[in-house]
Structure 1
Amino acid sequence: MDHLGFLSNYLIVIDEGSLSAGARRTGISQPAISQQIATLEEYYGQKLLERSKAGVRPTKAGQVVCKYATQMQEAQHELLAELDILGNSTSGTLTLSTSLVMAELGVADVVYNLRHTTPDLNIVMRVEDRLVDVVRENYDLAIRTGNLGNTDGIVRKIAMIDTILVANPAYLDTHGRPHIWDDMSKLDFIEYSVGRSNGYLPVIKDNIEIEMPVRIGFTANTVNVVLSALANSVGYARMPRALVREHLKDGRLEEVFPKYKIAPKPIHVVYPHRHSLNRRSQLLIDALIDEFKTNNDVHLLHSIKKTETIA
């Protein structure tokens, strides 16, 4: 059996809290993932899952398996990374996770270009608006914006991206254009992913960042739904300027409260372990840094250089 693979899927089931959610995340059927766990239980001679109507959780034996399975995953990443360094090869497979925002803001173009310049590199890019676990889900690299919360792996901030508040002009015609921040309480804020703002927006006033309250009226977990909600006059939203530049230009969207500057969002790269940034991942990061240099809405950190600094 693929022991490491079965353990990895077991960790995902525990992380998701249900067999069905774990199956969706791994891309295999629920009966198949149930059989994998049954195989592990037979192998270890212990029951590893407690099932209830609320979902699944690890038994005491399962907690022990979770602990050592995580360590085994990390060791596997380190092993592959060190072997990769010995070969210094760019051939092979790079598994990448990125959000839709980052895919549209340059990651997809970088991937296309790398396929032309490095034909031996097989890139598996998954565009998903969720925070993946690069360790448990066996990703080489993830590229994300905003607050990552608690996440396994090594996180490096490489840039900041300008954000602004936008709304459909028709929405502002109906509900009024704010002149002072208190006027914002009359408008509904469209939240991108649950709990990302905690009911506040970071606003820069007199060169000081302060948290200003907002009234959340709608929440969506994908940027496409946020854009659709804006188009349907559901409220206003915080968006990367680069992503809505054309919408502003043709009048589909209007900047809200332009005299207030909204704090930029950080762009992070996340990888499984300090020693697991292989040559393939570094090649993509270097290309992404070059791409960001041409985007006026993205600001590289002064400390970030190619190759040697990230690692």
Structure 2
Amino acid sequence: MDRIEAMRAFVAVVNEGTFTRAADRLDTSPQLVSKYVSQLEAHLGVRLLNRTTRRTHLTEAGTHYHQRAQQVLADIDDMENQLGNLQTQAQGLLRISAPVSFAIRHMAPLLSEFQKAHPAVGIDLQLNDRKVDILEEGFDIALRIGHLKNSSLIAKRLAPVRLVLCASPDYLKQHGTPQSPEELSHHRYLQYSYMDIGPGHPLQKWLQTQGRKSDGSMISNNGDVLVESAIAGAGVALQPTFIAGDAIKDGKLQVILPEYEPQPMALYAVYAHRQLLASKVRGFIDFVDGFFGKTPYWDQF
């Protein structure tokens, strides 16, 4: 049994969902793919897949093996690229997870320029505001926003993320412009579900109180909805400038209480530590480093 080919067959079946699609990906027959997987299971002494007529399902052992097998195969491919003097030519499919609003507003130019510089790299961009497990879910890189906690992953800081309180001029004309955090209690709050500015900040008490109110305030897990609601005069929003910046620049939103602005967060590229980093990952990290500048364009208002 060729263990590497058997490992590739198993990973392809998991990633593609069926033996037939895995065979198409590997340019071979479904029978040979099935044979490789069966030989691998016999060699390991465990069942990796539960098979039905329509789908395959990972066992617990299969889940663990798939995670490690993907890394091993990526390392082998990259080692062969280096030995073949191909490290300068990044190639392969780069799987990226990114926050929804940031990606929709700012990722397209970045990815377009990256692929011009690295035409052999394909992009699989998945948008999700939850914290994905990049190893378990097969991502090469995750873009994350916040104050990152210690982890076994490598984090590259890409840009500052500034949070501002803002409301439309018409709303402030009608309801008054607050001059202190205490005065915010009289205003409707357009709340982002995952907002966390840390304990001890003067705005934290107001945020916690507003989250329990049901007086016409709004809560959403999407910042674009909240910014558009603020523009329409629905209330006060605490949002990053990469979402609200254009509206502030155009005068549709007005920053309030700037002296109480929370400490900036940051945008990070997070990836797994590997002694031999895949060329496609290294190429992206090097390219995105400094792409947005010390003061990002969305903060220039």
TM range (shorter): 0.5 to 0.7
Rate the CA distance shift 1:277–1:268 in 2: closer, same or farther, 3 A: farther
Please name the residue that 2:70 is paired with: 76
Amino acid in structure 1 at the alignment position of 2:153: I
The alignment's TM-score, normalised by the length of structure 2, stands at 0.66
Aligned equivalents of 2:104, 2:265: Cα separation in 1:
16
Rate the CA distance shift 1:45–1:94 in 2: closer, same or farther, 3 A: closer
Larger Rg over CA atoms: 2
Give the CA deviation at 1:295: 3.5
Q: How does 1:145-294 map to 2 (within 5 A)?
A: 145-146=145-146, 154-158=153-157, 159-192=159-192, 194-197=193-196, 201-202=197-198, 212-213=204-205, 214=207, 215-216=210-211, 217-275=217-275, 277-293=277-293
Give the CA deviation at 1:106: 4.3
CA contact (8 A) 2:97 2:127 kept: yes
Q: How does 1:80-95 map to 2 (within 5 A)?
A: 80-87=74-81, 88=87, 89-95=89-95
For 1:109-166, what per-residue CA distance to the aligned partner results, in whole angstroms no more than 9, with x for missing partners?
A: 221012212211111222333332212221111112125679x861415143222111
Aligned equivalents of 2:282, 2:242: Cα separation in 1:
25
User: Any gaps of 5 or more consecutive residues in structure 1?
Assistant: 11-39, 48-61, 300-311
Larger CA deviation: 257-266 vs 275-284: 275-284
The alignment's TM-score, normalised by the length of structure 1, stands at 0.64
Number of aligned residues: 245
Give the CA deviation at 1:243: 3.4
Q: Which has the higher strand share?
A: 1
SS in structure 1 of the partner of residue 259 of structure 2: coil
User: Any gaps of 5 or more consecutive residues in structure 2?
Assistant: 1-5, 18-40, 51-57, 82-86, 212-216
Aligned equivalents of 2:198, 2:221: Cα separation in 1:
20
Aligned equivalents of 1:246, 1:99: Cα separation in 2:
18
Aligned equivalents of 1:189, 1:6: Cα separation in 2:
48
Aligned equivalents of 1:287, 1:105: Cα separation in 2:
19
SS in structure 2 of the partner of residue 259 of structure 1: helix
Amino acid in structure 2 at the alignment position of 1:288: V
1:66 to 60, 65, 81: 60
CA contact (8 A) 1:102 1:145 kept: no
Rate the CA distance shift 1:46–1:294 in 2: closer, same or farther, 3 A: closer
Please name the residue that 1:100 is paired with: 100
Rate the CA distance shift 1:220–1:147 in 2: closer, same or farther, 3 A: farther
CA contact (8 A) 2:98 2:144 kept: yes
Identity of aligned residues (%): 23
